[in-house]
């Protein structure tokens, strides 16, 4: 990486190479504000913008540029057709919650539409249809159940079709969700940054917040020792850096892969596509998120790009990167004859809550006047916008009917949720076996230039990276969050934590929470 925190992985996304991230000066003095927002992704920037529109004095702080985290690695689907099916949400949380979830995501798309028009943001925003279909060999039952549940949730315009348009070699019914949308997420965030600045909001990049203490006045401290005092603070860091335990037991990090291909302009109509699972067998899973494919197009000069994602797995718990990229390419070429040159490939991360909905609201540890947003469940663009709307309402004292369903303190006692909660936390405990295993290699001379590996050093494990010049860089392999052992991600050149999803670049710098510190260097 050229700059610390420039992006959350070594591979560059289409968004990152086609837009300049907004950057400003770091914090260089003690500050006061009405609200301090930590994190300048979709959730943080939307929250800051809406509070600035409400007349609040807003400070936004990020240790990288605006959109330098997972927002820059999303595929940017704006949908009310949720990754977690409405019939599943009904089983876990009830029909009223499913209805409010549909309403909130619909209003999030509408709010983005309004902001784009009101602020004249040139971000390739467009309304498109979305199509949900089953993989070959799967039963039509899932589509039928989701159709009925979507209607009950208030999405009355959803239509059942014999199959999806464009996608080849798919049998069985599909659902059409009208008035979905897509945009260029970094161009949108740059527009929000300019709009915040016009309203006298202050944005600081290149400053890491390392401490947040709630109270009547919230006190935040930067790595350099500067203090920010605010009436309220919002932690919008993808995974909260202020909470070591509570919220991290209720969500799990999953890696998701993306490939993009060049196609001719107007060869494929712009639309969103999702299958219900990557295979018919995976669709039968009862616990945990089901891997699926997701597809969209984006304008790129005289051509379009076809953006295809999927092949999800628990973060740092699979290492067959090339195989997964190959599977995505094969899937894309099998289902569309228009697929051309492979252009980009990368790996991002989503936080999966145990009961399908994001956690947005007052900090669950009870830290006064501190608010959090996390658990995007693959719908980060709309969940992040919902967070902006909901948190702005909470901070300004306005009523919001979504508060209950997104409450970070909520407990869901349905057996399927409890079973998933137990499974995910047992998985975390299982990762502690890394303290007892051998390293990836026995000695450093086995590590090639540009690669990393774990090495056992007596009772300890070291994360060792050899740079392109041949110089070795050694770090403690212990994640500073909750002491799990990080693992080398050979495709993104990062050290990833298999427990809660912290990510560090090849030189040990933290680029994704919940860790708030770098890997400890060993000299």
**Who has greater pLDDT, 203 or 172?**
203
Asked whether residue 459 carries a pLDDT value surpassing 60, the answer given is yes
3 pLDDT exceeds 50? no
Question: Left (φ > 0), alpha (ψ -120 to 50) or beta: where does 301 sit?
Answer: left
Q: What is the mean pLDDT of residues 357-372?
A: 95
Q: Of 319, 353, 387, which residue constitutes the final position of a domain? A: 353
**Residue 265 resides in a domain:** yes
**DSSP letter for each residue of 464-501:** EEE-TTS-EEEEE-B-TTT-PBPEEETTTTEEE-TTT-
Q: Which residues contact 206 (CB under 8 A, 6 or more apart)?
A: 5, 23, 25, 26, 62, 63, 64
The answer on 282 and 162 residing in a single domain is yes
Contact 329, 259 (CB under 8 A): yes
Furthest CA-CA distance within the chain: 63
Mean pLDDT to the nearest integer, 1-16: 76
Rounded average pLDDT over 295-306: 94
Q: How many angstroms separate the CA atoms of 445 and 99, rounded? A: 58
The total of other beta-carbon atoms located within 10 Å of residue 318's CB is 14
Q: The domain containing residue 333 runs over which residues?
A: 122-180+251-353
CATH code at 322?
3.30.9.10
Distance CA 146, CA 285 (A): 16
Query: pLDDT band at 421, cuts 50/70/90?
Result: low
343 shares its domain with 443: no
Percent of the chain with pLDDT over 90: 81
pLDDT of 394 over the 60 cut: yes
Q: What sections of 64-140 are H helices per DSSP?
A: 86-93, 95-118
* pLDDT above 50 for 2: no
Same domain, 140 and 271: yes
Domain count, the chain: 2
- Sign (positive or negative) of CA dihedral 146, 150, 152, 157: negative
Give kind and range of the element (H or E) at residue 421. Answer: helix 415-430
Structure token pair of residue 236: 């919008």
> Within a domain: residue 425?
no
Please answer whether residues 484 and 493 qualify as being in contact, where contact means their C-beta atoms are separated by less than 8 angstroms: no
Q: How far is CA 494 from CA 7, 236, 466, 502, 511, in A?
A: 11, 22, 12, 10, 9
In this structure, is residue 223 part of a structural domain?
A: no
**pLDDT for 5:** 54
Last residue of a domain, one of 309, 330, 353: 353
Q: Find the mean pLDDT for residues 376-390.
A: 95
- The reply to whether 227 falls in a domain is no
Residues 135 and 284 in one domain: yes
Do 451 and 347 share a domain, yes or no?
A: no
pLDDT class of 1 with cuts at 50, 70, 90: very low
Distance, in Å, from the CA atom of 200 to the CA atom of 234, rounded to the nearest integer, reads: 18
* Predicted pLDDT at 300: 94
Q: Is pLDDT at 140 greater than 60 in this prediction?
A: yes
Residue with tokens 């289409």: 14
Write out the H or E segment, with its range, that includes residue 17.
helix 14-18
Question: Tokens standing for 468?
Answer: 């392109």
Model confidence at 433, pLDDT cuts 50, 70, 90, reads confident
CB count within 10 Å of CB 361 equals: 23
Is residue 277 pLDDT above 50, yes or no?
Answer: yes
**CA dihedral sign of residues 5, 7, 11, 17:** negative
Torsion sign across C-alpha atoms 451, 23, 39, 390: negative
- Identify the pLDDT of residue 4: 52
User: Which of 353, 372, 394 is the last residue in one of the domains?
Assistant: 353
Choose the weakest-confidence range: 279-283, 338-342, 444-448.
279-283
Q: Are 343 and 440 found together in one domain?
A: no
3-state secondary structure of 132: strand
Tell me what pLDDT residue 7 has: 80
Mean pLDDT of 384-401: 97
Q: Please report, for the domain that includes residue 492, its CATH number.
A: 2.102.10.10
Q: Is the pLDDT of residue 423 over 90?
A: no
Indicate whether 452 and 308 sit together in one domain: no
Provide mean pLDDT across the span 217-225.
Answer: 97
What does the pLDDT read at residue 510? 93
Q: Which helix (H) or strand (E) holds 144?
A: helix 141-152
Band of residue 418 on the pLDDT scale cut at 50, 70, 90: confident
Report pLDDT digits (tens) over 61-112: 999 999 999 999 999 999 999 988 999 999 999 999 999 999 999 999 999 9
- Whether 160 contacts 175, CB under 8 Å: yes
Q: What is the reported pLDDT for 287?
A: 62
């Amino acid at each position: 990486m050229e700059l610390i925190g420039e992006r959350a992985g070594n591979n560059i996304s289409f968004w990152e190479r086609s837009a300049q991230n907004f950057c400003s000066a770091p914090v260089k003095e003690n500050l006061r504000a009405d609200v301090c927002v930590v994190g300048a992704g979709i959730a943080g920037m939307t929250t800051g913008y809406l509070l600035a529109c409400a007349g609040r004095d807003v400070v936004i702080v990020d240790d990288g540029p605006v959109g330098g985290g997972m927002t820059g690695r999303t595929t940017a689907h704006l949908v009310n057709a949720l990754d977690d099916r409405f019939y599943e949400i009904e089983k876990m949380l009830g029909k009223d919650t499913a209805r409010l979830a549909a309403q909130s995501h619909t209003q999030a798309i509408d709010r983005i539409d309004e902001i784009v028009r009101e602020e004249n943001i040139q971000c390739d925003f467009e309304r498109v249809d979305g199509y949900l279909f089953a993989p070959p060999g799967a039963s039509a039952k899932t589509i039928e159940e989701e159709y009925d549940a979507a209607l009950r949730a208030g999405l009355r315009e959803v239509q059942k079709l014999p199959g999806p348009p464009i996608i080849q070699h798919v049998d069985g019914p599909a659902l059409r969700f009208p008035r979905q949308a897509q945009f260029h997420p970094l161009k949108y965030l740059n527009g929000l940054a300019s709009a915040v600045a016009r309203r006298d909001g202050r944005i600081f990049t290149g400053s890491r917040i390392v401490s947040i203490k709630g109270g009547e006045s919230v006190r935040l401290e930067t790595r350099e020792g500067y203090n920010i005092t605010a009436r309220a603070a919002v932690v919008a860091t993808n995974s909260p850096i202020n909470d070591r335990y509570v919220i991290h037991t209720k969500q799990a990090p999953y890696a998701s892969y993306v490939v993009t291909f060049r196609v001719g302009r107007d060869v494929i109509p712009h639309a969103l596509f999702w299958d219900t699972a990557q295979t018919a067998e995976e669709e039968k899973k009862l616990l945990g998120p089901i891997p699926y494919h997701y597809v969209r197009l984006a304008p790129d000069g005289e051509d379009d790009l076809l953006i295809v994602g999927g092949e999800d797995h628990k973060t740092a718990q699979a290492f067959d990167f090339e195989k997964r990229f190959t599977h995505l390419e094969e899937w894309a070429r099998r289902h569309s004859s228009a697929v051309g040159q492979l252009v980009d490939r990368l790996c991002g991360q989503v936080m999966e809550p145990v009961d399908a909905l994001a956690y947005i609201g007052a900090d669950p540890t009870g830290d006064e006047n501190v608010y959090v947003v996390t658990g995007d469940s693959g719908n980060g663009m709309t969940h992040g916008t919902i967070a902006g709307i909901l948190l702005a309402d909470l901070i300004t004292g306005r009523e919001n009917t979504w508060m209950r369903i997104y409450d970070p303190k909520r407990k869901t006692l349905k057996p399927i949720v409890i079973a998933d909660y137990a499974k995910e936390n047992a998985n975390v405990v299982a990762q502690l076996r890394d303290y007892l295993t051998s390293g990836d290699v026995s000695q450093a001379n086995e590590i090639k230039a540009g690669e990393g590996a774990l090495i056992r050093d007596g009772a300890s494990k070291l994360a060792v990276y050899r740079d392109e010049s041949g110089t070795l860089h050694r770090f403690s392999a212990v994640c500073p969050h909750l002491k799990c052992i990080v693992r080398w991600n050979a495709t993104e050149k990062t050290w990833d934590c298999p427990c809660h999803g912290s990510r560090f670049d090849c030189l040990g710098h933290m680029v994704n929470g919940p860790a708030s510190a770098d890997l400890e260097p060993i000299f």
